[in-house]
A and B are shown apart, each in its own frame.
Chain A
Amino acid sequence: MNRPSPRVVAALALVVAVALFVVAAIYWAEPARSLPSWFPGHKSGSSHHHVKHGLAAFIVGLAALVLAWFQSGPRARPT
């Protein structure tokens, strides 16, 4: 099977990174009761902020951003 081109991987990684940064911001800004019901940590009536969940999402987002950065670099491009 052919590997996807670096450009496609970079674009996908960038989308994932942005999505995860948004998720992190939601975790930090909203209490557990206000999180979307499909988010891990959602709990009706709870005023707890899932700071660690947000941090985890942010770290993975950062990793995805770094992947996008490398995949869009000159070394990743076919010569």
Chain B
Amino acid sequence: MISYWQAIVLGLLQGVSELFPVSSLGHSVILPHLLGWNIHQNDSFFLTFLVGTHFATALVLLGFFWRDWVRILRGLGRSLRDRGIGAEDFDAKLAWLLVVGTIPAGLLGLLLEHPLRHAFASARSASVFLFLNGLLLYGAERLRRRAPQPERGDPDRRIARRMSFREAAGVGTVQAIALVPGFSRSGASMGGGLLAGLSNEDAARFAFLLATPIIGAAAVLKLPELLGHQGAGVRGQTLVGAICSAVTAYLAVRFLMRFFETNRLTPFAIYCTLAGAACAIYFLS
């Protein structure tokens, strides 16, 4: 079972690592092993706990981008009403980019989440994949088409103008790599955004917008488990963890939106590579 102290630590970690491109699932597998806690990724109480913290993260993202979501949903409604996307309707274009990006990630998540979670549940494999996640982030920065530079104007307009539906589907598909503990969903989608020609700031923004329906839907789908018998004995810890997760998720998204105005993914790539390598050596020795 999970204690309140463990719930606080894991909740704080979840909020940060879900949005930082460093794999929240990987960290939630590795950290308990490093600290010698008897918590395993496939324990039903831990899955229930994760549902709560993910739900909190999704709510924070929804709240942070609330005004944007209202605009985006209005654009979606307009395009459905008009049966087409107006040439200057950037909100509608962004809405459909998000829909197109969400569908492949959602489908792959529905079909592969369970088998992948069971196949790669060990801290060893999570460490190796964390190392590979670092290389992936570094590779995305190296392969990007344009150098990062501060940009003016409406970021949603820039995203809608630069990104094609094919690229949005590609970004959505690579997000599914995060079903493997150690790979980061936000890292994969930010990397995909960079390869599609977005700046770091816009890639981060698109990744966070894309994250909201995916994380939210995954949590809502499993919410009955939290409210049912699986949640017995862990609801209090889950609530505490969810509050901690919400606080750090809010701070993380605020920090990252400013960080990526002028910075790259490289620091996270270095962290993942070094931490992944160190943990892999530790667990294999």
Contact surface of A with B, Cβ cutoff 8 Å: 52-53, 55-56, 59-60, 63, 66, 69-70, 72-76
CA distance A8 to B221 in the complex (A): 36
Determine whether the beta carbon of A59 is less than 8 Å from that of B103.
Answer: yes
Determine whether the beta carbon of B82 is less than 8 Å from that of A75.
Answer: yes
Contact surface of B with A, Cβ cutoff 8 Å: 80, 82-85, 99, 103, 106-107, 110-111, 221
Closest to B83 in A: A73
Determine whether the beta carbon of A56 is less than 8 Å from that of B107.
Answer: yes
CA distance A74 to B82 in the complex (A): 8
Determine whether the beta carbon of A59 is less than 8 Å from that of B106.
Answer: yes
Determine whether the beta carbon of B103 is less than 8 Å from that of A63.
Answer: yes
B119 CB to closest chain A CB, in angstroms?
A: 17
Q: Contacts of A60 on B, CB cut-off 8 Å?
A: 103, 107
DSSP majority for the B interface?
helix
Determine whether the beta carbon of A69 is less than 8 Å from that of B111.
Answer: no
Determine whether the beta carbon of B83 is less than 8 Å from that of A52.
Answer: no
Determine whether the beta carbon of A55 is less than 8 Å from that of B110.
Answer: yes
The answer, among A55, A56, A59, A76, for a CB contact under 8 Å with B84, is A76
Question: For A53, A73, A76, which residue has the most chain B Cβ atoms within 10 angstroms?
Answer: A73
B274 CB to closest chain A CB, in angstroms?
A: 37
CA distance A70 to B106 in the complex (A): 22
Ordered nearest first, which 5 A-B pairs have the shortest CB separation? A73-B83, A75-B84, A52-B110, A56-B110, A56-B107
Determine whether the beta carbon of A53 is less than 8 Å from that of B111.
Answer: yes
CA distance A45 to B99 in the complex (A): 38
Closest to B113 in A: A52
Q: Contacts of B110 on A, CB cut-off 8 Å?
A: 52-53, 55-56, 59
B75 CB to closest chain A CB, in angstroms?
A: 14
